[in-house]
Structure 1
Amino acid sequence: MKQVLSSAWALLLGVGLLMIGNGLQGTLLGVRGEIEGFSTLQMSFVMSAYFVGFLGGSRLTPEMIRRVGHVRVFAALGSFISAVMILYPVFTDPIVWSLGRVVIGFCFSGVYVTAESWLNNASDNENRGKALSLYMIVQTAGIVTAQALMLLGDPAGFDTFVLASVVISVSFAPILLSISPTPAFATTKPMSLKQLMRTSPLGCVGMFLMGGVFAAQFGMSAVYGASVGLSMVEISGFVATFYVGALIMQYPLGWVSDRMDRRLLILLVAAAGGLGSVLGMALGGVYALLLAAAFLIGGMTNPLYSLLIAYTNDYLEPDDMAAASGGLLFINGLGAIAGPLITGWLMGDEVFGPPGFFLLMTGLLFALAVYALYRMTQRPSIPVEDTGTFTTVSPASTPVAMELAQEYTINADQEVQDALVAQAERAGEDAA
């Protein structure tokens, strides 16, 4: 761990500040939209636009890096993020905000791609798993910290937007001043969606459904809080609790996933998340129960993302894992774009009102549980001893981080196989 921190502390600090800025703008827009009188449907388009840009950025940034290099792409995209942050309170119009969110999503995706390629370059086979874990922890902690910073200013004014812009601008300093080598950049061509669906129907369907769940959490939770009249402190606590749950539950569920049928675990975790959504929908008027619902939903759904990837890997050859990750990300991105739009429609006064926020997640999570049960009847499970290693992956990851995680999984599984072979050889020598 010390080796990882000594070689990548500046990068991790910069990423943490980036996530604080990103977490600030998501919650801030949700609250400011309510102040400006935007409808939930209008806000759903604003929030969905981020994922349109993010999906586009993850596809186009690699070519930009190949043409002009990491440093130029990193600095240019960062300046755009800071500029858009300042423009939000100047032009309080849902159309302008939607366009800004497309730009922000594109730029954040590009920045993450660049940072993750540097992280990959700064790690080796021995510490890659620790580096990836630290990266995911820093990402989640950044979003949680952002919710506390929301309390430092008035969302009806300019100061919190300026704070977000400053945090983003400062985040580039430790990275650009400490990175000396420019890593070689390459990404794997994605596997065709048809082939991926044939290999792991549950993985593909699950990633699409989870895209909608994550987008609702990240984009519409602050909108929900503002629409039901929560105070700024309560909204910040509500949004943060999703990510606190994710941070606490990721590793216990990962440990369990390496010791039981992953389809059954997917079913149980999805059902538990669905029950959390029912709790929020039925008893969300009690703030303590609202926080309990947020913790349960976040604690179940974020590990599900990594769990679905690990399950898909169980049916892939090592050489195909990196290619499959690009397809899974694309499917998840499509679900993320649709998630806020459907949530915003459900939250409309003429439909279900604010409880529609939980209704969508309830439907998606129970649908995943039912589909996992169905898939358990379609083919036999893989023996636990033959499954691959669970690796934590954030829903905010780009193809670079996904390939980094896949590379770590392959190396970890190979080490296990080598150890088993060595043990068998020693047993044979002792018998002789």
Structure 2
Amino acid sequence: MAQMIAPVASLLFSVVLLLLGHGLQMTIVPLASLSLQFEGFMIGLAASAYFVGFVAGAIITPHVVVRAGHIRGFAVMVSSMSAAALLHPLVAEAEAWILFRFITGFCISGLYLIIESWLNEFADNSNRGLIMSVYIVVNYAAFTCGQLMATLTGPESFHLFAIASIIISVAVMPVAMTKAAQPAPIAIVKLDLRKVFKTSQAAIISALVIGMVVGSHISFAPIYAVQKGYDAMTQAPVFAAMLGLGGVISQWPLGRFSDRVDRRLVLMVISILGIFASISITLLDQADFLVFLIVGALIGAATQPAYSLAAAHGYDHASENGYVRMAAGLLVAFGLGSSIGPVVTSVLMQYVDIDALFLFPAVLLAVLVVYLAIRVMHKDAPVAENKDSFDFASTSATLGGVVSPELLNEEDRYVVVPDSWEPSEPEEDDTEEAASVEATDDADPTSADEAVAEDPLETKAKASA
């Protein structure tokens, strides 16, 4: 195992640093917004801007990589994300924070895409599952630890934003110093939402609704804990982390169980559990903090794995050459829901009640249960032989995105293979080794193109917390 992970160790170390800073920032931003007395609607807009930026980053990043390469693209995204983190305490205006959150979402989406395309360069059929599983575990662990770092001092403190910025900045160092060759350019995926919706309505509608639910939870969980009377520094970040931890624990067993039955039924069951858990937490009035955490973890366990099940259901209905198209459609649906949910929730929390953070998602889950029940009655589930086994790496959306379970194929009409970027011209005082490489290229001018053509596009379409 160690030999398989060694080639990507530096990249995974960058992921750890990146997600530590990102998890810290995702927790302190809503708490700092509350301490600065921003209006609830503006807090919601900032949260939605993050998810809008995430979708935009997934679409635009391939063009950035084509122009600048993976290492430069990674450095640009990290630097921009680090600067955005540091700008929050320097410009304490709600309108500015909306822009900063958009930049953060754009950058983290691009970084996910670059990282995964790089990981796939080192992976083959014998170790791809191991590498991607380690990558997913590292993501969850680092992000959760970053959330818990918010307990170090008050959320309004400049120090926490500075720590987040420093950690994110340092994340570029292992990648910048790597000797590994850059992978082929990231392929660009065309969208065909009508085709995707016709392929699996249940998957797209579920992704949309779940995006609204999860987007609201991620954006306002720390604020909810504070409004319920728990300490903003020592308890609110722990509550936010427990929502994610509950989802991590339940995702794999639920996914495996859904391999044996209709995934829509599993979605219905966990949605019903999510409704009861959401209503239960609103009934806790100054309850013991441990009870509060347990109920929060149950909510996360019932809601956060729902996207993975919806994605797996969509892949069950997709044809062999339709996985990429399905992944892109799920990305848009989840991103749209994640952008709408926080805005609506913020208005309800401000003008109705703070418990709207869980009551509104409970209503959404109830609607989803009714819709899925109708679909189950009118459309049969795919037979077991046609179902794909649940893939933890390809269906995990709590990270914020979508990963296609199949390699991109340049012959797929929904995949656009960009031309490889041209390397810079060597200087006159380049080393003898560089001159030798240039001479080799001159002797076989088609070698570079052939290398790109022969290298399978082992990237995946990635979309988010």
TM-score when scaled to structure 1? 0.89
Deviation (angstroms), 1:98 = 0.6
Report the Cα distance in structure 2 between the residues aligned to 1:386 and 1:230, rounded to whole angstroms. Answer: 49
Other structure's SS at 1:319 match = coil
Q: 1:91 to 1:382 in 2, by over 3 A?
A: same
Percent identity, aligned pairs only, is: 32
Match of 2:336 among 318, 334, 337: 334
Q: Is the 8 A contact 2:229 2:286 kept in 1?
A: no
Q: Is the 8 A contact 2:26 2:147 kept in 1?
A: no
Residue matched to 2:131: 131
Report the Cα distance in structure 2 between the residues aligned to 1:149 and 1:196, rounded to whole angstroms. Answer: 40
Equivalences, count: 404
Residue matched to 2:293: 291
Report the Cα distance in structure 2 between the residues aligned to 1:398 and 1:277, rounded to whole angstroms. Answer: 22
Q: Is the 8 A contact 2:54 2:102 kept in 1?
A: yes
More moved, 387-396 vs 304-313: 387-396
Matching of residues 121-200 of structure 1 within 5 Å: 121-178=121-178, 180-187=180-187, 189-200=189-200
Report the Cα distance in structure 2 between the residues aligned to 1:406 and 1:209, rounded to whole angstroms. Answer: 25
Report the Cα distance in structure 2 between the residues aligned to 1:52 and 1:285, rounded to whole angstroms. Answer: 35
Report the Cα distance in structure 1 between the residues aligned to 2:155 and 2:372, rounded to whole angstroms. Answer: 42
Matching of residues 23-422 of structure 1 within 5 Å: 23-178=23-178, 180-187=180-187, 189-231=189-231, 232-283=233-284, 285-286=286-287, 287-348=289-350, 350-351=351-352, 353-392=353-392, 393-395=395-397, 402-403=403-404, 405-407=405-407
Q: 1:298 to 1:317 in 2, by over 3 A?
A: same
Report the Cα distance in structure 1 between the residues aligned to 2:191 and 2:179, rounded to whole angstroms. Answer: 32
Report the Cα distance in structure 2 between the residues aligned to 1:236 and 1:261, rounded to whole angstroms. Answer: 36
Report the Cα distance in structure 2 between the residues aligned to 1:179 and 1:48, rounded to whole angstroms. Answer: 38
Q: Output the amino acid matched with 2:270.
A: V
Residue matched to 1:2: 2
Q: 1:307 to 1:318 in 2, by over 3 A?
A: same
Deviation (angstroms), 1:78 = 0.9
Q: Output the amino acid matched with 1:313.
A: Y
Report the Cα distance in structure 2 between the residues aligned to 1:384 and 1:284, rounded to whole angstroms. Answer: 46
Report the Cα distance in structure 2 between the residues aligned to 1:16 and 1:124, rounded to whole angstroms. Answer: 23
Q: Is the 8 A contact 2:304 2:398 kept in 1?
A: no
Q: Output the amino acid matched with 2:347.
A: W
Report the Cα distance in structure 2 between the residues aligned to 1:375 and 1:257, rounded to whole angstroms. Answer: 17
Deviation (angstroms), 1:189 = 2.7
Deviation (angstroms), 1:220 = 1.3
Q: Is the 8 A contact 2:57 2:106 kept in 1?
A: yes
Other structure's SS at 2:307 match = helix
Question: Any unmatched runs of 5+ in structure 2?
Answer: 409-465
Report the Cα distance in structure 1 between the residues aligned to 2:178 and 2:57, rounded to whole angstroms. Answer: 25
Whose Rg is larger?
2
Other structure's SS at 2:235 match = helix
Deviations 1:259-298 (A, max 9, x none): 1121211111221122221112222642333212221121
Report the Cα distance in structure 1 between the residues aligned to 2:400 and 2:282, rounded to whole angstroms. Answer: 32
Q: Is the 8 A contact 1:55 1:106 kept in 2?
A: yes
Deviation (angstroms), 1:196 = 1.0
Residue matched to 1:425: none
More moved, 267-276 vs 48-57: 267-276
Q: Output the amino acid matched with 1:267.
A: M
Report the Cα distance in structure 1 between the residues aligned to 2:101 and 2:199, rounded to whole angstroms. Answer: 34
Deviation (angstroms), 1:109 = 1.1
Q: Is the 8 A contact 2:151 2:235 kept in 1?
A: no
Other structure's SS at 2:304 match = helix
Q: Is the 8 A contact 1:302 1:394 kept in 2?
A: no
Greater share of helix: 1
The RMSD of aligned alpha carbons is 1.8
Other structure's SS at 1:260 match = coil
TM-score when scaled to structure 2? 0.83
Q: Is the 8 A contact 2:52 2:105 kept in 1?
A: yes
Q: Output the amino acid matched with 2:294.
A: A
Deviations 1:8-55 (A, max 9, x none): 222222112211111111111111111111122221111111111111
Deviations 1:293-335 (A, max 9, x none): 2211211222211111111111111111112101110111000
Q: 1:364 to 1:407 in 2, by over 3 A?
A: farther
Q: 1:197 to 1:284 in 2, by over 3 A?
A: farther
Deviation (angstroms), 1:191 = 4.5
Q: Output the amino acid matched with 1:24.
A: L
More moved, 158-167 vs 262-271: 262-271
Q: 1:284 to 1:395 in 2, by over 3 A?
A: farther
Deviation (angstroms), 1:72 = 1.1
Report the Cα distance in structure 2 between the residues aligned to 1:292 and 1:275, rounded to whole angstroms. Answer: 14
Report the Cα distance in structure 1 between the residues aligned to 2:228 and 2:293, rounded to whole angstroms. Answer: 14
Q: Output the amino acid matched with 1:74.
A: F
Deviations 1:399-424 (A, max 9, x none): 7x613x3349xxxxxxxxxxxxxxxx
Q: Output the amino acid matched with 2:29.
A: L
Q: 1:29 to 1:397 in 2, by over 3 A?
A: closer
Runs of 4+ deviating beyond 6 Å: none
Question: Any unmatched runs of 5+ in structure 1?
Answer: 409-432
Residue matched to 2:459: none
More moved, 336-345 vs 386-395: 386-395
Other structure's SS at 2:260 match = coil
Report the Cα distance in structure 2 between the residues aligned to 1:82 and 1:248, rounded to whole angstroms. Answer: 30
Q: Is the 8 A contact 2:71 2:175 kept in 1?
A: no
Q: Is the 8 A contact 1:279 1:289 kept in 2?
A: no
Other structure's SS at 1:347 match = helix
Deviation (angstroms), 1:227 = 2.7
Report the Cα distance in structure 2 between the residues aligned to 1:374 and 1:181, rounded to whole angstroms. Answer: 51
Q: Output the amino acid matched with 2:113.
A: V
Q: Output the amino acid matched with 1:282.
A: L
Q: Output the amino acid matched with 1:345.
A: V
